[in-house]
Structure 1
Amino acid sequence: MSWSYRPALDGLRTIAVYLVLLFHTGLPVAGGGFVGVDLFFVLSGFLVSNVILSEIDRTGTLRIGKFYSRRVRRLLPAAVAVVVATCAVFVLISSVTRRLPLIGDAQAALLYVANWRFLAQSSDYFATDVEESPFLHFWSLAIEEQFYFVFPILLLLLTKATRRWGWALLAALGALFALSLGSQLYWAQVDTNHAYYGTDARLYQLLAGVLLTVALRTWHVQVRRRTAELLAVGGLVLLLVLGSGLPPLSPSWRGIGAMVASVLLIAGLSLRDDGVLARGLARPVPVFLGRISYGTYLWHWPVILVLEEVLVVSPKIVAVLAVGVATGLAAASYEVLEMPIRKNGFLDRFQWNTAVTGVAVSALVAVTLVPWALQLDRKPALAALDSASGVAGVATGKPTRLPADVDWAKVEDDIGDEGSCSAADVARCTVVDGSGPHVLLVGDSQAQMLVPMFESIAEKHDLRLSLNVQAGCPWQEGLANKKSSEKEAQKCEDGRVGWYDEVLPELDPDVVVLVSRPRDEPQWARTIVRRDGREQPLEQMTAETSRETLAKVEKVADDTVLVERMIMPETFDPDECLTSASEPSACAVPVPLGTSPTDALYIAAAAEDPALHTVDLNPAFCPGAPVCQPVVGGEIVWRDDHHVTAQYAVSRRDQVWKLLEKTGVFGAAG
């Protein structure tokens, strides 16, 4: 098969991009629409390898500088424009606290490492939900660019090395395909996020397109029109079924199926261009939409996020608006920006210089303009105050003032410290080695935010302090948090299962302080489970596993202190509120009424067992009750909707110590 332009393949891009767009709007009919990305990958591998092999056949070699120059001129201008425009829009509609995490996302997008950025964030308990990032969709473009950077040289070397043996090129590429597919299947069992974002686990789709190119060029396949039509239509039907989300498949197997569908579809359209489907896709409208599909893909996700930010409408309305706006922006970008740069004859003279300059401009924008814009501390001009639906307007008592020049990045990062140890290295648990009573702090991220405070208390009162603290990990040995990533879940299991039997006796603390975020709301019933697999109501599960763990703790420690629920905003982000509201008092949080199920469990257990004690730290952290101010003594109180800042906790250490002393355990311990 000799390569020539096939307009139907441009039309195929149209199907791919709108599958992704409809999926991102949340339409049920496109519940698996992310397979459009899989189609893009296979099609990219097919097209780029055809371009490379055609040049090698024609000239005997590949001008690498010219290839890179074409890629840079094709991809970077639109990408930089979208990143800059997105930063500008989000300055208008979002608070600085929401924008700060986006700096790294935008930089990773411009440097084409976004997939690794989002993979790292998926294992970070405190990372902003990646689905809130307007740069999320750059993960797939990053994989393609990484492929484009390495593959031309690799294919050139393989072509030269296997010139006498046509089958050897297929064999070598097939081996790479098998390795990547094996990586996908492995990570699908170990870490689904890596299976989705990892370059190694996704290359098989690009290589499937390359293998199709080499196979068609090597074997010169000739088929009847009906056969080609059956291949193309069969592939399209399979792709659309997978894109509907109806088959109950994992993302990994759905992606493998989409790869097979894409190969069939592209093969059918490439072998014969006179079929009904090929002619339909080659019509002017789908061809034009396919040519601007790169821009549509770049624009669609930030457009959807903005629409959802400023409008309260159904996914259908969002879909209609997103299609119109993203397509319009892409068409304008294609005509005004992309094509003039791609067709500029002057730039053809400076191939390597053009490539290097383009990358340098992208990097310069990443390190200068992006952080400058997203760090601007200004109130959103277009977005409504999120707290208006929560607590704004409550009677707040004494007014508060926001400190000048708050370092919001520092506030967002003020998460406290983790700490744990194994039976092989028990000493690692101890962080303050005082001569007084030995206190062990155990818990999740709410314990983590208190670690610097407990360290300060231990140093001041000559206590010995040890830790078993890990974000997202309940102190109950028998509970697992399905909301955690695979890496976090494994870390939690290592730090809890068997720890109370093996490590706790070696530590031999006098007092164990247990702190966890109460998980009483109905939504937690879907994510908090028993490690042994038994299904129980959330309250019963919490009660049983709490009693089981407390029994193990009491075998070792003289006293156990259960920290009751700490007052948190829960329904809104107080820092975003502070950067948006005219007065900090609008972001105050009322003291909740009643006793939570977890607190009731603690109080009942303490009433029955003299070695168990409860402590309410809210009088220390909320001195203005019944309303808790977001700024106390010049300190920002909360870093998000369910954590105080570690710095604020340290500032309240004396008040907390008085509350701990009232339990009576520290005078008696040791």
Structure 2
Amino acid sequence: MTDQTSRRPSKQRLDIQGLRTIAVGMVIVYHLFPVLLPGGFVGVDVFFVISGFLIVGSLVREAVKTGQIRLLAFYARRIRRLLPAATAVLLTTMAATVVLLPQGRWPSVAKDVMLSALQVQNWNLALGSTSYANATAIVSPVQHYWSLAVEEQFYIVIPLLLMAAAVFAHLFKRGKEMTCLGVLAVITVASFIHSVVFSASNHDIAYFASTTRMWELGLGGVLAILMPKFSLRRTSGVVAGWTGFALVGISAVVYTTTMQFPGSIALVPVAGTMLIIAAGSNSLWVPARYSLTSLLGLSPITYIGDISYSLYLWHWPIIVFYVFRLGHPLRMHDVIVILALSIVLAVLSYKYIEQPLRHGQPIRTPAGRRFNRALVPHRTAYVLGAALLALSCTAALGPWLIVQDKIEQNNRVINAVDYPGALAFDAASPHQVKPGLPVRPDPAVATQDGPMTDKAGCNQYDPATVPDTSCWFGDLSGHSSMVVIGDSHAAQYVDPLVDLVEPLGWKVRAMVRNGCPFSTAPASSGGVALTNCSEQNKASLEKILALHPDMVVISGMTPQAYEAALHWHWQDPRELVSGYEALVKPLIAAHIEVSVILDNPYPVVSVPDCVALNGPVSAKCQTPASTTNDPVDPLRQVGADIPGVRVVNMRHYLCQQNICPAVIGNVMVYRDNHMTNTFAKSLAGPLGAALGL
């Protein structure tokens, strides 16, 4: 999301203001109706080109005219222009989080607010896009700050390089403008090549990385340098404008998030934006009545462009909070409310925050001299920036510390008599549940109550890199051994199994990898086969055969759960069954005892959030058993097909009378689609009996 130019030319390009309206409109429609405009995210690319055209163009003109770039003045203008409105939204978002969201969401939002204030939210999202733990997390109300971070990282680098180019040109008697163009062209080409290559290998990270986006801003700057050297005729301008509009519009309608974006396909909306800007470049003629340039210059359209920065900042947190509290998909009247609230806040932000702090108001000194706040020494802007940054971080720190205190409380050992967990559903001898006790783990920290494999860094097992001496638990000197293998749903059973077998003199090896079922059949996502997991499993099998443990325990998510959580799928359920069996049969042939644990029910809501908002016994937080029964669980079929494989089904400890409660035996059952570690450990006794231990 771009800001408006830090120093407007004497004659403002109204068509560019109108182009901002198109860009922010596409983004908002995409966020509200992703099915209607699946590629509306290209509005951000439009903003990048506009920003490069205006900001880089002004920097080059300054370098050519004066031989230098006043860096302190440039960054001071950026601070005054961007930070006040951005900080106002961050502070409001943090306050709304405390008021509207459960405490369990406070730490993640606090972290995002701080990283957004520090202008590194894009890298936070880039790294998080590959994190399995983030796959089912609530969307951040400030995730849209990633585009601001990309721009600011670009503008930390590019003024320095352009200034160096101007100095070089002066020393070696070269043309300053062409030298700046050459430097900009090198950066643009390098970034574009990187974008194409990286988007093909990992477009989730490439989407947010600043290095894959710099070429879009760079092309805007190249256009600003070259455009004065060419003059479009009136007819050519009309054709260029509407052609550019068609390219941007087609991208917004056709593109989807599964594509290798930005990559080479981002050239289409970028080229379209450049054509639209070029169409309005000729100041010697009046645009044709029905040209795009003329339409974009209409007052209602340009006004939305004026407030587009604030509108971009406000609309997304409003959508996130509204949808979270609504609890169901948006209806038309909800959309109207969201749009109205976004526009009202954008207008107020533009009028009372953006404009006053950007341009300043005339003030009078005691001696009667008038001057503009915007001309106050640049150190004032830097003091303002530091103060706003500190304010955002301080506002985020308070809620984060509150939850950290609850984590410390939750780490205390709980009384198994008062908190029987799964044993409250024991068919033979159900444990009594003492009423009136607080739920453990507390809903505020339940999402962090994961297994020891997460804490020990053993949740990404790779047979090629993890030493054979790593990720062992239990009695490490014991002569009996067990291997637990599968995805993160298999990792849920490491702690209860260790509690169970350590007193018996067993050691347990965790060979678990998030998102990797123990199968040779790769899942696919967006038409791409995820083969790395299946290849690693073949190597893991060789490791297990060499180890020859007393027992191998396998568990994993069902195909339905993978589709719900990660949008991964197998074309044929039998394909996954065959993939499991290809690895299980050699274990049975080697006379290794194999047990498979069927997957736990998949909750239909965020259980910790629901319990925090509605209480532990609310029907809203329950999962109907009818939605969790999976008659084609591939592990169930493996047990039926291969003699000697023990099938363990723990679902009757999680569901009764066709209902799977959110809290059982005073213990929170789920942290997301995984069981809390506290509840999983309460399964140790029943699990041991089912495994024949």
Instruction: Tell me the TM-score normalized by structure 2.
Output: 0.82
In 2, Cα distance between equivalents of 1:402 and 1:288? 56
- The 5 A counterparts of 1:448-597 are 448-480=491-523, 482=525, 489=530, 492-500=533-541, 502-520=542-560, 527-529=567-569, 535=571, 537-538=572-573, 540-566=574-600, 568=601, 570-584=603-617, 586=619, 587=621, 596-597=630-631
Secondary structure of 1:89's match?
A: helix
> Shift of the alpha carbon at 1:194?
2.0
Q: Compared with structure 1, are the counterparts of its residues 374 and 22 closer, same or farther at alpha carbon in structure 2 (3 Å cutoff)?
A: farther
How far is the alpha carbon of 1:302 from its aligned partner? 1.8
Q: Report the counterpart of residue 327 of structure 1 in structure 2.
A: 343
1:323/1:291 CA distance change after superposition, 3 Å: same
C-alpha distance in 2 between matches for 1:10 and 1:261: 16
Does the aligned pair in 1 maintain the 2:45–2:216 contact within 8 Å? yes
Aligned partners of 2:628 and 2:209: how far apart in 1?
Answer: 47
Q: Distance in 1 between matches of 2:445 and 2:550?
A: 35
* 8 Å contact from structure 2 (residues 30, 40) kept in 1: yes
Q: Is the 8 A contact 1:445 1:471 kept in 2?
A: yes
Return the alpha-carbon distance in structure 1 between the equivalents of residues 564 and 341 of structure 2: 38
Instruction: Note the C-alpha offset of 1:257.
Output: 0.8
Q: Secondary structure at the match of 1:133?
A: coil
Could you list the runs of 5+ residues in structure 2 that have no partner in the other structure? 1-8, 361-370, 404-430, 454-458
Query: Is 1:197 equivalent to 2:208 in the alignment?
Result: yes
Maintained 8 Å contact 2:561/2:602: no
Q: Measure the CA separation in 2 of the matches of 1:41 and 1:185.
A: 17
- Amino acid aligned to 2:105: R
Aligned amino acid, residue 482 of structure 2: V
Q: Does 2:384 correspond to 1:358?
A: yes
In structure 2, distance between residues paired with 1:521 and 1:131: 17
Cα RMSD (Å) of the superposition? Answer: 3.4
Bigger Cα displacement from structure 2, 255-264 vs 305-314: 305-314
Matched, 1:438 2:445: no
Greater Cα offset, 157-166 or 9-18: 157-166
Who is 1:175 aligned against?
186
- CA 1:295–1:603: 2 relative to 1, 3 Å: closer
Q: Distance in 2 between matches of 1:471 and 1:451?
A: 14
- In structure 2, the partner of 1:660 is 691
Cα drift, residue 62 of structure 1: 2.2
1:421 and 1:429 in contact (8 A); partners too? no
Tell me: CA distance 1:618–1:74, structure 2 relative to 1, closer, same or farther (3 Å): same
Counterpart residue type for residue 183 of structure 1:
H
For residue 352 of structure 2, what is the aligned residue in structure 1? 336
Q: Return the letter of the residue paired with 2:577.
A: A
Corresponding residue number in structure 2 for 1:637: 669
Quote the residue 2:252 is aligned against. Answer: 243
Question: What's the offset of the Cα at 1:521?
Answer: 7.0
1:372 matched to 2:398? The reply is: yes
8 Å Cα contact 1:511-1:557 kept in structure 2: no
Aligned residue for 1:513, secondary structure, equals strand
**Distance (Å, rounded) in 2 between the aligned partners of 1:340 and 1:572:** 44
Alignment-derived partner of residue 390 in structure 1: none
Letter in 2 for 1:206: L
Correspondence for 2:275 among 264, 273, 281: 264
What secondary structure does 1:503 align onto? helix
Listed as ranges, the gaps of 5+ residues in structure 1 are 378-395
Instruction: Report if aligned partners of 1:509, 1:556 keep a CA contact under 8 Å in 2.
Output: no
Using the TM superposition, give the Cα deviation of residue 658 of structure 1 relative to its aligned residue in structure 2, in angstroms.
3.3
Counterpart CA distance in 2 for 1:632 and 1:131 is 24
Task: Tell me the residue number matched to 1:420.
Answer: 461
Distance 2:191 2:83 in 1: 27
In the TM superposition, residue 399 of structure 1 has moved relative to its aligned partner by: 6.8
Q: What's 2:239 paired with?
A: 230
Cα pair distance change 1:116/1:460, threshold 3 Å: same
Q: Distance in 1 between matches of 2:235 and 2:110?
A: 52
2:63 corresponds to 1:22? no
SS across alignment from 1:561: strand
Matched residue of 1:44: which SS? helix
**Pairing partner for 1:215 from 226, 235, 253:** 226
Q: Contact (CA 8 Å) 2:439, 2:667: kept in 1 or not?
A: no
Select between 39-48 and 349-358 the one with higher mean Cα deviation.
349-358
| Equivalent position of 2:411 in the other structure | none
Q: Is the Cα contact below 8 Å between 2:93 and 2:141 reproduced in 1?
A: yes
The TM-score with structure 1 as length reference comes to 0.84
The alpha-carbon deviation at position 484 of structure 1 amounts to 12
For residue 629 of structure 1, report the CA deviation from its aligned partner. 5.2
Match of 1:72 among 73, 79, 85: 79
Aligned with 1:95 (options 91, 99, 102): 102
Q: Which amino acid aligns with 1:201?
A: T
- Counterparts of 1:74 and 1:525, CA distance in 2: 40
Give how far 1:652 is off: 4.0
Residues 57 and 137 (structure 1), Cα distance of their counterparts in 2 relative to 1, 3 Å cut: same
For 1:15, give the aligned amino acid.
I
Residue 255 (structure 1) aligned to one of 243, 254, 266: 266
**Secondary structure of 1:185's aligned partner:** helix
Alpha-carbon distance between aligned partners in 2 of 1:374 and 1:429, rounded to the nearest angstrom: 31
Q: Secondary structure at the match of 1:126?
A: helix
Question: Structure 1: how far apart are the matches of 2:314 and 2:628?
Answer: 47
Cα distance in 1 between the residues matched to 2:306 and 2:348 = 12
The letter of the residue matching 2:392 is: A
Superposed displacement of residue 637, structure 1: 2.8
Report the identity percentage. 25
Is this contact kept in 2: 1:512–1:557, CA < 8 A? no
Query: Residue type of the partner of 1:274?
Result: V
* 1:152, distance to aligned residue in structure 2 (A): 1.7
Task: Judge which range, 540-549 or 508-517, deviates more.
Answer: 540-549
Please give the per-residue CA displacement for 1:306-333, whole angstroms capped at 9, x wherever unaligned.
4434556756555544433322211111
Distance 1:462-1:485 versus aligned 2 partners, 3 A rule: farther
**CA deviations over 1:385-435 (Å, ceiling 9, x no partner):** xxxxxxxxxxx9957545279655642122221263526743335444242
C-alpha distance 494-608 of structure 1, shift in aligned 2 (>3 A):
closer
3-state secondary structure, aligned to 2:516: coil
Tell me the equivalent position of 1:290: 305
Distance 1:137 1:602 in 2: 40
CA distance change for structure 1 residues 233 and 194 in 2, over 3 Å: closer, same or farther? same
Rate the CA distance shift 1:490–1:545 in 2: closer, same or farther, 3 A: closer
Deviation at residue 156 of structure 1 after TM alignment: 1.5
- What amino acid is the match of 2:540? W
CA distance in 1, matches of 2:212, 2:587: 43
- Correspondence for 1:274: 286
* Cα separation, 1, equivalents of 2:191 and 2:375: 37
1:36 aligns with 2:21: no
Structure 2 CA distance for aligned equivalents of residues 401 and 485 of structure 1: 50
1:7–1:397 Cα change, 3 Å: farther
Q: How much does 1:26 deviate?
A: 1.1
Describe the shift of the 1:551–1:212 C-alpha distance in structure 2 as closer, same or farther (beyond 3 A): same
Shift of the 522–450 alpha-carbon distance from structure 1 to 2, 3 Å rule, reads: closer
* Counterparts in 2 of 1:629 and 1:241: CA distance versus 1, 3 Å: closer
Q: Superposed, which structure 2 residues align to 1:136-151 within 5 Å?
A: 136-151=143-158
Give the aligned partner of residue 647 of structure 1. Answer: 678
CA contact (8 A) 2:97 2:109 kept: no
Which of 298, 301, 304 is the equivalent residue of 2:319? 304
Tell me if structure 1 keeps the 8 A contact 2:136–2:565: no
